[in-house]
Amino acid sequence: MAPGRSFSGGQVSELQRVIDIGRQISGLSFGIYVGDLPGGRESAVARHAQLNDAPAAVLVAVDPADRAIEIVTGSHAVRALDDRSCELAVLAMKSSFEAGDLVGGIRDAVNLLAQRARAPHVVHEDEPA
């Protein structure tokens, strides 16, 4: 998570927990950035490139001042998350943000993205049902 807005210790812990759970669920890395995105999507893409394991990473970037939300997926992550999944995450965030819940919106978006990227469980014919 990058600086750009003051969060309480509890909020930082909550966001770190959702990042960790998202990774466990989906196998993807998640990053969160809250702050200025002067170049819009280009700024978010540049921040995504700085993440560890950027190909398997998803960045949720929010610029509260400009009311901008960007979700950037790496070359591996994009195979697990289609545009529709990202659009749903943005809608979830907007709804929470309008209610004044920045952390809740980000949490819900990361959870949604992780669930959508989860690989389906494959049952083999030789496995008991």
**Tens-digit pLDDT profile for residues 54-112:** 999 999 999 999 999 999 999 999 999 999 999 999 999 999 999 999 999 999 999 99
Q: How far is CA 72 from the centre of its chain?
A: 8
Burial class (CB in 10 A: 0-12, 13-18, 19+), 18: buried
User: Would you kindly state where each structural domain of the chain is located, as residue ranges?
Assistant: 9-116
Tell me the helices (H) and strands (E) count for the chain, helix number first.
Answer: 5, 3
C-alpha dist (Å) from residue 28 to 25, 46, 80, 114 = 8, 19, 9, 8
What pTM value is reported for the model? 0.87
When pLDDT is cut at 50, 70 and 90, the band that residue 6 belongs to is confident
CATH code: domain 9-116 is 3.10.310.50
